[in-house]
Structure 1
Amino acid sequence: MKITKLLFFVLFLGQLSCNSQQKKINGISFVASREAINTKHISPVLKAQSNYIALMPFGFIRELSSPEIAYNTQRQWFGETRAGLVQYAKIFKEKKLKIMVKPQIWVWRGEYTGFIEMDSEEKWTVLENSYTAFMLTYAKAAQEINAEILCIGTELEKFVLKRPEYWKELIQKIKKVYTGKLTYAANWDEFKRVPFWSDLDFIGIDAYFPLSNEKTPSVAALETGWQPHKKEIIRIQNQYQKQVLFTEYGYRSVDYNAKEPWNYNRNSGAVNLQAQINGLQAIHNQFWKEDWFAGGFLWKWFSNHNKVGGKENTMFTPQNKPAEVIIQKLHQQ
């Protein structure tokens, strides 16, 4: 009888372990389009075995020192607006996918959002009021669509470091209207300095860490390149005792894609489909089996599946490339 009970207990623990693995977030960052979506647009996402989708409404500012955020306007693409977010979420929820709402800022000409900084107290106040209105609009929408996660900002390092008290207050305002999980998408070289991880549910990282200077680094070389970064991630995870979520991760299908993985310059190299495969395999090998790791959101996926990606494409999407097959396999593990 004791042996039977022991065997049952071992099997029970094994089942718990399997369930833990199944609960990893295998997410995809779904790019907003001009129009509403339907089931044909999300069938490829389902084929990729994804269980989460990041939906990304946008706000726009004119330049790095401009304090006013324009958002939810008729001039934007439908998918970038509140109505678009709600419509996209409805379609995905019908197919049992979970949602992370990830409002983002776009600076005119694509300048890096981490450099957004005001030159006066007056302008900081305007920016803070504008950003609060922007975020609360989408926090309320996230509550309405029953989104599982809300990301309160993406790569806003100077804004975060210069105005820490504002962010603490903003988080409390968000919690009054949204009851799901919260994270912030820190850039790969920013996450160590974010002052409010203790107030959130996940340590969010846009995981574009430099790993190798090789043209086509092997999976083994990439895993070696991950070690110092992983050590630092674990240090921060231990400090705050929060799960780590890769709010963005991905690799271009281009030569030297692990040297500066954040680089999206279209003219930066030749097509390299194997380099993209190796990058995705290595990051999964290093993180997806860790208990402290929640999962991640692949960057990025477009709604018009048959017209994007392909074997001549050097950008981040895995669509219609060998990497798409690898993602399907990795998401099933």
Structure 2
Amino acid sequence: MSKPELEMITGMTWGWTGVRGTWEGPDAEHSMNEMAKLNVGWAGITLGAMQATAQSTEITYWQEPTVTDGEVRAAIRRAKELGMKVVMKPVVNCADGTWRAHINFFDMDIPGEPTWSQWFASYGKFILHYAEIAEQEGCEMLCIGCEMVQTDKREAEWRALIAEVRKVYGGLITYNCDKYQEGNVKWWDAVDIISSSGYYPIGEWERHLDRIQEAVSPYEKPFFFMEAGCPSREGSPLRPNDWSLPGAPSGEAQKSYYEAMFSACEKRGWVRGFMLWDWPARLYGEEDAAANDDYCMYAKPAAAVVRDYYGRI
């Protein structure tokens, strides 16, 4: 694929969901120090802000539980002190538990009903707020949205938002589409880098990489996986996107997934890396790693796979 070259992104998503009070202090410092030991060169500083439901039109990013601006700046500065580049990634969540991919409104603005215009006005303020912080703190990249499947069709609004972001932020801009959606975003030309969530079943990476390449190659933009990973749980390699899948803890299952994913992707030069999912601001104890069945690979067999792969690409 012909596209501008992008350095290999050896990244890790840090701090999700960004709960106020957790991003500063010894625990947060320990977490980032341990993350850096895996040859992580990019930190995805990732926070969540709330709207009440999927049909609400106000995103209250200044309120709890979202981390404070001071915590955001402290996390960025700590990552840079450790030699990492930073992707600033603000993400909207629904307080009632509905997945953000289902945020949706009538195609046309209808009087008396919540509208796309109202929602994008609030979402724009949210993203611009963190774009300004990203600019002030020297973040190399800004992710303007994550897995917003029902919003992807709102091309005009996304293009307008990107234009506004560029007025306050001079770094690289990406949008993190959801898995399987790489071909459904029609405004990839407006961003600098195309990215998606790579939660594909362990035996299906090759065919999905073929599909993604076909979908994104016309845009001649760099591509990487803004999210990718697998819980350390039996059965999860076959359904890595399902964080609630029942299964016993299994570090070997997670390790096998990472080996397969890296093996498939390193043969594709157009895949410029990963922002792996994920690394919390407060780690579980090393002695508890074998019983932990979440995505974080701290003190699990997959950690060595990540460290070795990131150390050589």
Tell whether the structures are fold-level matches, with TM greater than 0.5: yes
Aligned to 1:114: 101
The equivalent of 1:173 in structure 2 is 164
For residues 72-91 of structure 1, what are the structure 2 equivalents within 5 Å? 72-73=62-63, 75-77=64-66, 80-91=67-78
Question: Which residue in 2 is equivalent to 1:232?
Answer: 211
CA distance in 2, matches of 1:173, 1:105: 19
Contact in 1 for aligned 2:49/2:65 (Cα 8 Å)? no
For the pair shown, the structure with the greater C-alpha radius of gyration is 1
| 2:53 pairs with 1:63 | yes
Letter matched to residue 100 of structure 1: V
* Counterpart for residue 271 of structure 1: 249
Task: For residues 244-271 of structure 1, give each alpha carbon's deviation from its aligned partner in whole angstroms, at most 9, with x where no partner exists.
Answer: 1100000111122122211011x61112
The one of 181, 189, 196 aligned to 2:180: 189
Alignment of 1:7-86 (within 5 A): 23-31=7-15, 32-33=18-19, 34-35=21-22, 36-37=24-25, 39-73=29-63, 75-77=64-66, 80-86=67-73
AA of the residue aligned to 2:250: N
Task: Provide TM-score, normalisation by structure 2.
Answer: 0.89
1:184-210 residue CA offsets vs partner (Å, 9 max, x unmatched): 111112121011111111111111123
CA RMSD in angstroms comes to 1.9
| Aligned positions of 1:251-290 closer than 5 A | 251-265=230-244, 268-290=246-268
Answer yes or no: is the 8 Å Cα contact 2:230–2:240 preserved in 1: yes
Matches within 5 A, 1:292-331: 292-307=270-285, 310-331=289-310
Structure with bigger helix share is 1
What residue in structure 2 maps to residue 93 of structure 1?
A: 80
CA distance in 1, matches of 2:151, 2:30: 39
Task: Tell whether the 8 Å contact from 2:226 to 2:275 is kept in structure 1 after alignment.
Answer: yes
Report deviation, 1:323: 1.3
Number of aligned pairs?
A: 296
Paired amino acid for 1:170: L
Alpha-carbon distance in structure 1 between the residues aligned to 2:61 and 2:236 = 33
Structure 2: unaligned runs, 5 residues or longer:
none
Kindly provide the CA deviation profile for residues 111-143 of structure 1, in whole angstroms up to 9, marking residues without a partner as x: 211110124615221101100100100111110
| Aligned residues of 1:30 and 1:300 also touching (Cα < 8 A) | yes
Measured in 2, the distance between the counterparts of 1:64 and 1:295 equals 31
Q: Closer, same or farther in 2 for the Cα pair 1:257/1:41, shift >3 Å? A: closer
Letter in 2 for 1:105: V
Q: Within 1, Cα distance between the matches of 2:278 and 2:186?
A: 28
Q: Percent identity?
A: 24
When residues 37 and 291 of structure 1 are mapped into structure 2, their CA distance, relative to the original with a 3 A threshold, is farther
Whichever residue aligns with residue 304 of structure 1, its letter is R
**Alpha-carbon contact 1:58-1:81 (below 8 Å) kept:** no
